[in-house]
């Protein structure tokens, strides 16, 4: 539990508290003088000696609230703690106030026959006011701390979810790439070596940006060109990547490694069974503070479909949900001979 006084942690609150008691004292002096209840000197001595003094002593009431909470004590113990604290503070307040009054205006006390009774009544009244004030402050600070902790917790959960999703993408891609390299090791070692180099650069990029959620479009395209070079070695003329990136989109932000599963999907269902060249066309445009990425490829609808678990597309939707709170930013269109995926990325 944090026992640091809120006035130390929040100087603005302390200034407001001091200002309140000073203004209250001034207002009371003006009212008393205006209605002719007492002269200015007497009113000043009385209000500033007692009202401002109680504001000063009342700062300690916060510790009574903090050490006697309802969560750790019964209602009776809390009330008893406040009664004892109120009695101590009121007695100290009356004693110091009396000393100050005697030093400044000795005759004032002699004129007030009900001084002690009125003082005790006003003291407990001011104590009650301070209790309400500090309970409100305590509730506000607790609510603020709870909100802050919830925000941190949500950020940690979000980071954990993203990490889990990315850890699903990378092994999936690595598994397929290593299979491709393995198939070329015996038949074409030079191409296998080229694939290993491209794969190492790609993995270095992935590790380098592992802690960042977003990169520029240009970085993401460059990264995926490495991936397509790997697959180009494997599929040769059957794979023809085409990029149409509008110039004003190059610095737009996009989640890291989010396009790679789309290219993997295009190759699996378009290029793998094809006998002719398949264009995998990437088009990026920026409209109204959003980046629209479209990846399309033709495919033979009569070819036997390769069965897959759809991990890549599910991961993209999950990442869009975590990052933007909207899994519907990914749209798929299949017209039986061309497959198109559209990804809409907000830029604000």
Nearest to 81 by CA among 92, 93, 65: 65
Residue 131 and residue 218 in one domain:
no
State yes or no: pLDDT of 169 exceeds 60. Answer: no
pLDDT band for position 183 (50/70/90)? confident
Residue 249 and residue 303 in one domain:
yes
Last residue of a domain, which of 165, 194, 220?
Answer: 165
- pLDDT per residue as tens digits for the range 199-213: 888 777 777 765 557
Nearest to 67 by CA among 48, 81, 80: 81
Residue 60 and residue 209 in one domain:
no
Residue 113 and residue 179 in one domain:
no
Residue 245 and residue 272 in one domain:
yes
Contacts of 12 (CB under 8 A, 6+ apart): none
* pTM given for the model: 0.55
Residue 205 and residue 73 in one domain:
no
Residue 1 included in any domain: no
Residue 327 and residue 213 in one domain:
yes
pLDDT band for position 160 (50/70/90)? low
Nearest to 338 by CA among 234, 264, 266: 266
State yes or no: pLDDT of 336 exceeds 90. Answer: no
CATH code, domain with 231: 3.30.565.10
Residue 187 and residue 217 in one domain:
yes
Residue 327 and residue 178 in one domain:
yes
Residue 263 included in any domain: yes
Residue 222 and residue 291 in one domain:
yes
- pLDDT per residue as tens digits for the range 63-119: 888 888 777 778 888 899 999 999 999 999 988 888 888 887 766 666 566 677 888
Identify the pLDDT of residue 109. Answer: 60
Query: What mean pLDDT value characterizes the chain?
Result: 82
Last residue of a domain, which of 143, 165, 187?
Answer: 165
First and final C-alpha spacing in the chain: 39
**Contact criterion met (CB below 8 Å) for 197 and 184:** no
How far, CA to CA in Å, does 108 sit from each of 39, 90, 111, 183, 252?
11, 20, 5, 105, 77
b/e map 2-13, b = 16+ CB within 10 Å:
eeebbbeebeeb
């Amino acid at each position: 539990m944090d026992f640091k006084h809120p006035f130390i942690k929040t100087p603005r609150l302390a200034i407001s508290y001091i200002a309140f008691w000073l203004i209250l004292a001034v207002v009371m002096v003006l009212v008393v003088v205006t209605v002719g209840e007492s002269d200015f000197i007497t009113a000043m001595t009385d209000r500033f000696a007692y009202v401002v003094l109680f504001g000063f002593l009342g700062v300690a009431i916060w510790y009574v609230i903090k050490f006697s909470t309802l969560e750790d004590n019964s209602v009776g113990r809390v009330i008893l703690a406040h009664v004892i604290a109120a009695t101590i503070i009121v007695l100290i307040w009356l004693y110091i106030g009396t000393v100050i009054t005697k030093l400044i205006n000795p005759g004032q006390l002699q004129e007030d026959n009900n001084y002690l009774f009125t003082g005790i009544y006003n003291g407990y009244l001011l104590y009650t006011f301070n209790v309400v004030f500090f309970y409100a402050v305590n509730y506000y600070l607790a609510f603020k701390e709870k909100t802050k902790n919830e925000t941190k917790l949500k950020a940690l959960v979000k980071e954990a979810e993203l990490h889990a999703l990315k850890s699903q993408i990378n092994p999936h891609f690595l598994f397929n790439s290593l299979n491709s390299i393995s198939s070329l090791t015996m038949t074409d070692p030079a191409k296998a070596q080229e694939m290993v180099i491209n794969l190492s650069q790609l993995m270095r990029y992935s590790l380098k940006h592992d802690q960042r959620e977003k990169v520029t479009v240009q970085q993401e395209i460059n990264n995926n060109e490495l991936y397509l070079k790997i697959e180009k070695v494997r599929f040769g003329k059957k794979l023809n990547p085409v990029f149409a990136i509008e110039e004003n989109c190059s610095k737009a932000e996009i989640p890291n490694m989010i396009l790679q599963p789309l290219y993997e999907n295009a190759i699996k269902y378009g290029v793998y069974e094809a006998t002719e060249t398949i264009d995998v066309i990437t088009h990026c445009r920026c409209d109204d503070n959003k980046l629209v990425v479209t990846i399309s490829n033709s495919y033979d609808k009569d070819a036997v479909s390769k069965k897959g678990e759809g991990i890549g597309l599910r991961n993209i939707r999950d990442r869009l949900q975590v990052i933007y709170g909207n899994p519907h930013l990914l749209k798929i269109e299949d017209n039986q001979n061309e497959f198109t995926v559209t990804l809409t990325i907000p830029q604000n």
